[in-house]
Structure 1
Amino acid sequence: MNSELNRPKGFGEILDQTFRLSKNRFLDFFLIFLILLGPIYLLQALFELMAGTSFFRVAGTGNNWFEQFLSSIEGGTMEAEPVTGAGIFAGLASGLLGIISSIFGVIASAAVIIGVNHVRKNEEFTAGSAIKQAFKRFWALLGSSILYFLIIFGMIFVPIMIIGIGGIFAFGFGEAFSVDSFAGSLVTILFIFVLLLAAAVGIGYLVTRWSFYIGVVTIDKIAPGIGTSWNLSKGRGWLAFGVFLVLMLITGVVTAALEFTFGLALGNSVLYSIILNFVTMITSLITSVGLAVMFFDLKSRNQAEDLQEMIEDYKQE
């Protein structure tokens, strides 16, 4: 057994183990994403070419390179391209491939969790064997993921409505009491910002507590696994949220830097999309490894608590 992955860990240890595993088993984990998502991204590139997007570089409008870069990223061109049947088909196909890539992304995360499970048991595995095991839980993962994303959608939609209504009332309050327009607008903006921040933190916390459903469905074979994930992360929700937040910040900064760098040279071209998809696979790999490390950390803690309870019950008898 791998002692590092089979004992409770602190915040820093989880991050350290995540990056260490991502580096040491990078090829295996990356092959999982490449096998599952690579063909989808390749088809997306072909559909972009069908829609008339240049492969190497798309130059936007503007008087200098920076304005051209911003214009190309926004999809601006010198003249509007006529909509063709091929363009419509390519757009619909890209949308469908986006849905499929989301589903396969969940399968890839499940395969990574399976791989980490083999590592913690000191067992060998290949990308192909991990993918095969993940596909055995395909329908359970699909149903659980649909439920998970429906819950998230509802959690995002409701706060937006509440914040929107709150903003309207705040504007009405300022007008009713003849508050200075600038001061009233400032108060409204601050009010909306605080609500958005509170909603984002609250939603992030809840999403984190439920996100371990992938491990529950894959390893414990319990579907949909959302309730089990909630119980599993009891008392560790904020730590898990913090780990995910750090991983998102690190991968987000790297992604943004690469987007800007390659965007300067390539614009919104097909090659630019391919590079971004490549980067997305790497950042998804790191996040999935982090999810797996935290999942097994939670399991080791719960198992230790269960063992302690059994010992205490035995002593009482």
Structure 2
Amino acid sequence: MDTKFTKPKSFGEILDHTFSLSKDRFKDFFLILLIFMGPVYLIEAIIQLLSGTSFFRAVGSGNGWFEQILSSFKETQTIDPNSLATELKTLVGTIIVGFIGALFFPVAKAAVLLVIQRVQKNEEYTIGLMIKQAFLRFFPILWSNILYYLIYFGLFVASIILVAFTGGIVSSKNLILGIVLAILLGLGCIVGMACLMTRWSFYFGSVVLDHQSPGFTRSWRLSRKRTWISIGLYLVFYLITICIDSAVQSTFALVLGNSVLLSIIVNIVTLLTSLFFYVGYGVIYLDLKTRHDADDLKEMIDDYDITTL
């Protein structure tokens, strides 16, 4: 077994392991994501071309260069105002692309996790075998994902109702107190949802690596005493992803405008940041398993010592 996986890691060690693993196995991870995400991004680019978006550089109306670049984004929001059919076809195409991505991007994430597991065990693997094994978990992944996001949606709606209802009642008697209470309740709901969804978020690793569906109970057990650390790691991964995506998009948008080439570049960057995020998720999950297994072993040793006294 790879020694980096054999002991529990601190916050910084998890980040360091994520970076090093992403670098060492970059070719394999990138190929997996390219196989799944590449065709989806290609279809998206074709839809943009068919809708009339310029490939290399899109500029709109205006006197100056900067004004033309800005107007290109505003003008292409309505793709073809004189053709309702074009708008409908583009909308349908976008929905189909999103649907395909929602179905198969999780399979790419599963294949990445399977590679990380093989690396952990120092076992040989091929990309084709990892993809095949990931597809074997397609339906458990699908219905577990649906259930997870239904829970998220339910908590979100319940939070809005709670904040609006409580804040509205109190505001009818004291406006300032009602606003303050609504803000405090809103922040509390955000923190509460973050904790709950983080505790359940490791269901995916359980479904893929441990073949337990939907995996929420196991995720809850694994993340015990590691909730805030996990939230912090998620925040770091999200911030890195957002900063890189925003920097690349804003930089190339100044030159290319709202063109198809800009969309392709942004999608490639999204692929790279997704790679980093998936690897980070896998490292966190395996670290939680290591901690959980160590705790179980310690409890067994303690129980054995007690019974032998």
TM-score normalised according to structure 1 size = 0.88
**Which range moved further: 125-134 or 307-316?**
125-134
Between the aligned residues of both structures, percent identity stands at 46
Equivalent residue for 1:223, pick from 210, 213, 233: 213
CA distance in 1: counterparts of 2:187 and 2:297, whole angstroms: 40
The one-letter amino acid paired with 1:103 is L
- Give the Å deviation of 1:240: 0.7
Q: For 1:124, what is the secondary structure of its paired residue?
A: coil
- Give the Å deviation of 1:120: 0.8
Inter-CA distance 95–80: structure 2 relative to 1 (3 Å threshold)? closer
**Which range moved further: 68-77 or 242-251?**
68-77
Alignment partner, residue 40 of structure 1? 40
- Give the Å deviation of 1:160: 2.7
Return 5+ residue gaps in structure 1 as ranges: 176-183
Contact 2:171 2:179 survives alignment (8 Å): no
Inter-CA distance 17–95: structure 2 relative to 1 (3 Å threshold)? same
Inter-CA distance 77–92: structure 2 relative to 1 (3 Å threshold)? closer
Inter-CA distance 198–59: structure 2 relative to 1 (3 Å threshold)? farther
CA distance in 2: counterparts of 1:73 and 1:217, whole angstroms: 41
**Which range moved further: 43-52 or 192-201?**
192-201
- Correspondence 1:201-212 to 2 at 5 A: 201-212=191-202
Q: For 2:55, what is the secondary structure of its paired residue?
A: coil
Alignment partner, residue 260 of structure 1? 250
Aligned-residue CA RMSD (Å): 2.3
CA distance in 2: counterparts of 1:309 and 1:43, whole angstroms: 53
Deviation digits for residues 244-291 of structure 1 (CA, Å, limit 9, x no counterpart): 101111111111111101111122221111111111111111111111
Alignment partner, residue 273 of structure 1? 263
CA distance in 2: counterparts of 1:210 and 1:88, whole angstroms: 38
Contact 2:111 2:130 survives alignment (8 Å): yes
The one-letter amino acid paired with 1:47 is I
Deviation digits for residues 154-197 of structure 1 (CA, Å, limit 9, x no counterpart): 1222223333445545654556xxxxxxxx5xx87766554444
- Give the Å deviation of 1:87: 3.5
Inter-CA distance 279–124: structure 2 relative to 1 (3 Å threshold)? same
Return 5+ residue gaps in structure 2 as ranges: none
Contact 2:80 2:86 survives alignment (8 Å): no
Alignment partner, residue 235 of structure 1? 225
Deviation digits for residues 135-154 of structure 1 (CA, Å, limit 9, x no counterpart): 01111111111111111111
- Give the Å deviation of 1:57: 2.1
TM-score normalised according to structure 2 size = 0.91
